Amino acid sequence: MKTIFFRYMTTFLIIMSITLALLSMMMAARVSHYAASQQEQALMNAADFSEKTLRYMYELTGAMPSDRDAGENETLLLTTKILNEYARTSSAAVLIVSPEGKLLIGTQGWDDFSVSGNFSLSTLYAYKNGCTYDSLGGAFSDIRLNYVKSMELGANTFFIVLTSPRSYAEGIMTHMYGSILIAVLWMLAASLAAVYLISDKLTAPLRSMQSAANALARGDFSVRVPISGSSEIVELATAFNSMAEALQNNENKTAGFISDISHDLRTPLTSISGFIDGMLNGSISPEKYTYYLSVVAEETRRLTRLVHSLLEITRMQAADRKPQKSSFDVCEMARIILLSFENKINEKELHVSFDCEKEKMMVLANKDNIYQVIYNLCDNAVKFSHPKGTLSLTIKSAKDHALISLYNTGEGISEEDKPQIFERLFKSDRSRGLDKSGLGLGLYIVKTILDRHEETLTILSEPGKFCEFVFTLRFAPS
């Protein structure tokens, strides 16, 4: 599998290679043009110097020299030496051609490339004052860079021919191309090293996250990734660590939930088993059977409630996120639920009030779920009300929602317990003493149901005085 680092490196390398190749071709073309123009300029300068020298010599002697005269005349000899120096500095040969096309003077080495020493006048006139790459009408044995300059002396037209071997220009270009290639290779190597370092730095946090993700997959929820790098990497690392922390908290809650459930299951089972074993082995006398069987029956009912609550939680977690809703009268539902607690209310001699703003208030929700919510809240209110205390169930409207309130005088909920009151199996120290049969799942179920309905639930409480739960339900469309 190709890693991000490999793909990043490959992509960057391809881009850099193409960019440097294009840059090299552009530079080579520019350098080639520049080198050619410089060589042409050098030939033209040498031709101008040669013309001035020949004119000066002509004014002194009154004649145009030739190679035949150079050894007999010191002035002509000096002229030849000067032309040879021009030829050397311009890396070219200087040829002086007569009006008839005959070679008069040729600098050192001219006979290495000259075919006959005769030139076509039409070619010379055609090429004068310009540079060409050719054999100058067959006068040379190979293709050369030539510059032809005409010179009027008296009534005659002479020609100065500057010629440079093509291999010289090609040698300069080869050297330049080699220099460019070396520079490009160095740039490519430096770019590759820079890209490697940058890519490694950019992908290091991702590799760290991959390692951490593998650890999470193996069940190690304590792993965290270091937060460093660019802002995007920092945000990703922060989100990853938040996810890992949430998974760890969930794992801890799950482990605690299983431990608490195991304890809540084991306690009544131990009691039931102990009492039945006592009846079977005779340690409990027959006249006490009724009492202990009532205890067994109560523990059995407690187990039934626990299993029912667990099944309810499992069902809600497995269901779709949005519950199936229908229209129903929440006032009528609240009346029925309140009547179902009549015996428990009478046992505590509670003062009960029920206030519904209208005779009927139609809401849109899952009827079974909302029944469970109101039932659990009423059950808590009755359990934790002081004897002869007050229990109030109020339903009123607020814009497009119904507000359902369950109020009771009693122990209330402390500020320390409020953040945890809706967690699974949570029971405050005070409630453990007041409600030994409770499971600590009622309010968790309430909160889960209302969250799935996207409704709000608030708590108003003053420890030792009262507690009030208020939740909302959206009205059904008319």
Strands 144-153 and 466-474: unpaired
> Is residue 260 located within the same domain as residue 157?
no
DSSP state of 358: S
Strands, E, within 241-356: which ranges?
Answer: 326-329, 351-356
Collapsing DSSP states into helix, strand and coil, what is residue 41? helix
Over residues 147-178, the pLDDT tens digits come to 898 888 878 888 988 888 876 656 666 777 77
- Binning pLDDT at 50, 70 and 90, where does residue 431 land? very low
> Is residue 345 located within the same domain as residue 421?
yes
Encode 233-256: b = buried (16+ Cβ within 10 Å), e = exposed.
beebbeebbeebeeebeeeeeeee
Instruction: Give yes or no for residue 1 having a pLDDT over 70.
Output: no
Q: How far is CA 421 from CA 200, 263, 464, in A?
A: 48, 20, 16
Instruction: Give yes or no for residue 214 having a pLDDT over 80.
Output: yes
Cα separation of 124 and 159, whole Å? 8
Collapsing DSSP states into helix, strand and coil, what is residue 66? coil
Cα separation of 227 and 235, whole Å? 8
Residue 298 falls inside a structural domain: yes
Residue 236 falls inside a structural domain: yes
DSSP state of 323: P
Over residues 373-417, the pLDDT tens digits come to 998 899 889 988 989 999 999 999 988 899 999 999 988 888 887
> Is residue 24 located within the same domain as residue 147?
yes
Identify the CATH number of the domain in which residue 242 sits: 1.10.287.130
Cα separation of 233 and 225, whole Å? 11
Tell me which H or E stretch contains 285. none
- The residue out of 317, 352, 370 marking a domain boundary is 317
Cα separation of 420 and 385, whole Å? 21
- Binning pLDDT at 50, 70 and 90, where does residue 434 land? very low
Q: 70: which residues sit within 8 A by CB, 6+ positions away? A: 76, 77, 79, 80, 105
Q: 275: which residues sit within 8 A by CB, 6+ positions away? A: 284, 292, 293, 295, 296
Cα separation of 9 and 15, whole Å? 10
Cα separation of 278 and 285, whole Å? 9
Phi/psi zone of residue 34: left (φ > 0), alpha (ψ -120 to 50 degrees), beta?
alpha
Q: Which residue has the tokens 């120096």?
A: 85
> Is residue 364 located within the same domain as residue 294?
no
- Binning pLDDT at 50, 70 and 90, where does residue 432 land? very low
Residue 408: predicted pLDDT: 94
Average the pLDDT over 9-38 and give the result.
76
Residue 428: predicted pLDDT: 55
> Is residue 308 located within the same domain as residue 352?
no
- The residue out of 259, 294, 317 marking a domain boundary is 317
Residue 404: predicted pLDDT: 94
- Binning pLDDT at 50, 70 and 90, where does residue 470 land? very high
Residue 317: predicted pLDDT: 61
Closest alpha carbon to 370 in 421, 341, 320, 336 = 336
One-letter amino acid for residue 378 of the chain = C
Residue 185 falls inside a structural domain: no
Q: 234: which residues sit within 8 A by CB, 6+ positions away? A: 227, 228
Residue 21 falls inside a structural domain: yes
Q: Which two tokens stand for residue 186?
A: 């160095």
> Is residue 371 located within the same domain as residue 304?
no
Residue 412: predicted pLDDT: 84
Classify residue 478 as exposed, middle or buried by CB count within 10 Å of its CB (0-12, 13-18, 19+).
exposed
Classify residue 157 as exposed, middle or buried by CB count within 10 Å of its CB (0-12, 13-18, 19+).
middle
> Is residue 273 located within the same domain as residue 344?
no
Closest alpha carbon to 404 in 344, 446, 463, 436 = 446
Average the pLDDT over 66-93 and give the result.
69
More confident residue, 125 or 67: 125
Residue 196 falls inside a structural domain: no
Instruction: Note down the domain range covering 259.
Output: 231-317
Tell me which H or E stretch contains 312. helix 289-318
- Binning pLDDT at 50, 70 and 90, where does residue 110 land? low
More confident residue, 134 or 474: 474
Instruction: Give yes or no for residue 77 having a pLDDT over 80.
Output: no
> Is residue 134 located within the same domain as residue 45?
yes
Cα separation of 377 and 422, whole Å? 12
Over residues 265-317, the pLDDT tens digits come to 776 788 788 888 888 888 888 888 888 888 888 778 777 877 776 776 666 66
> Is residue 285 located within the same domain as residue 415?
no
Tell me which H or E stretch contains 254. helix 231-281
Residue 156 falls inside a structural domain: yes
Identify the CATH number of the domain in which residue 408 sits: 3.30.565.10
Residue 197 falls inside a structural domain: no
Over residues 45-73, the pLDDT tens digits come to 888 888 888 888 777 777 666 655 544 56
- The residue out of 257, 282, 317 marking a domain boundary is 317
Over residues 324-348, the pLDDT tens digits come to 889 999 999 999 989 888 888 999 9
Q: How far is CA 419 from the centre of its chain?
A: 36
Residue 429: predicted pLDDT: 46
> Is residue 294 located within the same domain as residue 330?
no
Average the pLDDT over 9-28 and give the result.
77
Residue 390: predicted pLDDT: 93
The per-residue pLDDT of the chain, averaged, comes to 79
CB atoms within 10 A of CB 421: 19
Quote the pTM value: 0.47
Residue 362: predicted pLDDT: 94
Split into its structural domains, the chain has a count of: 3
Closest alpha carbon to 51 in 90, 91, 95, 100 = 95
Residue 351: predicted pLDDT: 93
Residue 230: predicted pLDDT: 62
Q: Which residue has the tokens 């440097």?
A: 20
> Is residue 334 located within the same domain as residue 304?
no
Residue 200 falls inside a structural domain: no
> Is residue 297 located within the same domain as residue 360?
no
Identify the CATH number of the domain in which residue 28 sits: 3.30.450.20
Residue 355: predicted pLDDT: 92
Closest alpha carbon to 446 in 454, 431, 457 = 457
DSSP state of 102: B
State the number of CA atoms in the 13 A half-sphere of 24 facing the CB: 19
- Binning pLDDT at 50, 70 and 90, where does residue 89 land? confident
Average the pLDDT over 182-201 and give the result.
78
Residue 436: predicted pLDDT: 47
Over residues 256-275, the pLDDT tens digits come to 667 666 766 776 788 788 88
